[in-house]
Chain A
Amino acid sequence: DIVMTQTPLSLSVTPGQPASISCKSSQSLLYSDGRTYLYWYLQKAGQSPQLLMYEVSSRFSGVPDRFSGSGSGTDFTLKISRVEAEDVAVYYCMQGLHLPLTFGQGTKLEIE
């Protein structure tokens, strides 16, 4: 199984400041079709996860442009340029390349 490792597991950020979450996979997520199957989800308290980013850096419909994704191969980063109160959530990376699909442990973002 591909292991997804996120760091940090928690972070506290002042509103308006940036935040960054790292996700590393135990194998490359680049497929022969040229796509990299790395996704980011967020889960707000009491809710189901929801899609943020797909294929590393593409924002899903309705996701604010303060969210950005980058990386390649096995190293990926989710950045929030200016954290807002509504960004409080747990953020998960997920690999969609090989079965079983696997998730990172989650990073809990709190507001200072």
Chain B
Amino acid sequence: HVQLQQSGPGLVKPSQTLSLTCSISGDSVSNNRVVWHWIRQSPSRGLEWLGRTYYRSNWYNDSALSVKSRMSINPDTSNNQLSLHLNSVTPEDTAVYYCVRESVRSSGTNWFDSWGQGTLVTVSS
């Protein structure tokens, strides 16, 4: 049974970097049948996909254009974790951030089957 435990500060000052960690238990961040995502949720923007990373002999990443220049998603295989870094934040980045596992079945079916508990990050001075 996979568990995703998120951690990180709940308050970030404008122009600084938002950093969150997702600790994975019950699975491996390097599992080649899984994709790891970050999604955020705010009243103004709803559920917004930010990006993903996955391992298929090499590491691959994709990001939403809206945050691509400011964001990185990094796997930490030593600690079996996933991190999100979003720099130059503004109040518009205030949201609940989720790490999410997408399982890719051998049949070709895939789904988001595990979500972290969510971390409310407020951008304010």
Contact = CB atoms under 8 A, between A and B. Distances in A.
Interface in B9-44: 37
Contacts of A102: 49
Contact of B115 (A48, A60, A92, A106): A48
Interface in B47-61: 47-49
A100 B47 contact: no
B58 to A, nearest CB: 18
Interface residues of A, number: 23
Contacts of A35: 108-109
A92 B98 CA distance: 16
Interface string A37-67: 0010100000011110011001010000000
18 contacts: A35-B109, A39-B111, A41-B112, A48-B98, A48-B116, A49-B47, A49-B112, A49-B115, A54-B110, A60-B111, A92-B47, A96-B110, A100-B49, A100-B65, A103-B46, A103-B47, A106-B46, A106-B47
Q: Which 7 A-B pairs have the closest CB atoms?
A: A48-B115, A103-B47, A101-B49, A100-B64, A54-B111, A100-B49, A48-B118
Q: How large is the interface on B (under 10, 10 to 19, 20 to 34, 35 or more residues)?
A: 10 to 19
Contacts of B48: 103
Interface of B: 37, 46-49, 62, 64-65, 98, 108-113, 115-118
A88 B116 CA distance: 21
Contacts of A50: 115
